[in-house]
Amino acid sequence: MPIQTKYQGIYSQALNNTERDEQRFNAEVTVHLDHLGSQPSGNQLLDELTALSNQRRHKLTIREATPSRKGPTAEPVLSYHQLQKHSSLQEYSEIKAVAGRKYALKKEDGRNEGSSVVVSWSPYQTSMGLDRDGYPTGPTRSNNDKVSLLAHELVHAKHMMAGSWKGSYDDPDDASTATGQEELRAVGLEDYEYSLTGKPSENSVRAEHGLPMRTRY
């Protein structure tokens, strides 16, 4: 069962629904959010997520996941008030699909309504490993980097909640696609660098924590 963190609108959900596990994972999430928010752009990101939750009645749930080669993910889901409009939906996959395409995905003429978000994340897989050129080598555990993977997914989450998400429906490695642009935006590359936009990204968080910069998605 999701339980509120110290950050309004942000919840944690442990793998096991025991009070002990729920409190343990809530504490782990809080430690990592505190670390993220200890520097300016990370704190800005958390403030923006809280504001979106307040303004749009959406919820962000950080759900405990087991480490995997894929790493953490962010998925749009229907908020409670949206679910009332789609009461016939039964399967989680259907709820995700409607939330993504009908509410989270940016409209051609501007922002959409936005949706709630589930970020699946593990405190034992917190870093995107990079080679010497800044190319990603895969999600990994790190004693130094506690923030880069979480920051990346929280940027996606912000876009979903704001109704400005570019989607995940085509090739993320192709910068000419909407999904490719969404990933560049989350990393903070090219036109989406923090120095140009003032919008938090994985790289803006890396920079303020003294971590190597990621040079491509």
Domain boundaries, the chain: 3-166
d(CA 195, CA 189): 10
The pLDDT of residue 170: 85
The pLDDT of residue 133: 96
Q: What is the CA radius of gyration of the chain?
A: 16
Opening angle at CA 120, ends 98 and 43, nearest 5: 100
The pLDDT of residue 96: 94
d(CA 55, CA 61): 17
Q: Give the list of residues 6+ apart from residue 143 with CB closer than 8 angstroms, or none.
A: none
Between the alpha carbon of residue 30 and those of residues 5, 25, 97, 160, the distances in Å are 7, 8, 29, 22
The pLDDT of residue 173: 81
Over residues 55-66, the pLDDT tens digits come to: 999 999 999 999
What stretches in the chain show pLDDT beneath 70?
none
CB atoms within 10 A of CB 81: 12
In DSSP terms, which residues pair with 121 in a beta bridge? 64
The pLDDT of residue 174: 85
Over residues 16-34, the pLDDT tens digits come to: 999 999 999 999 999 999 9
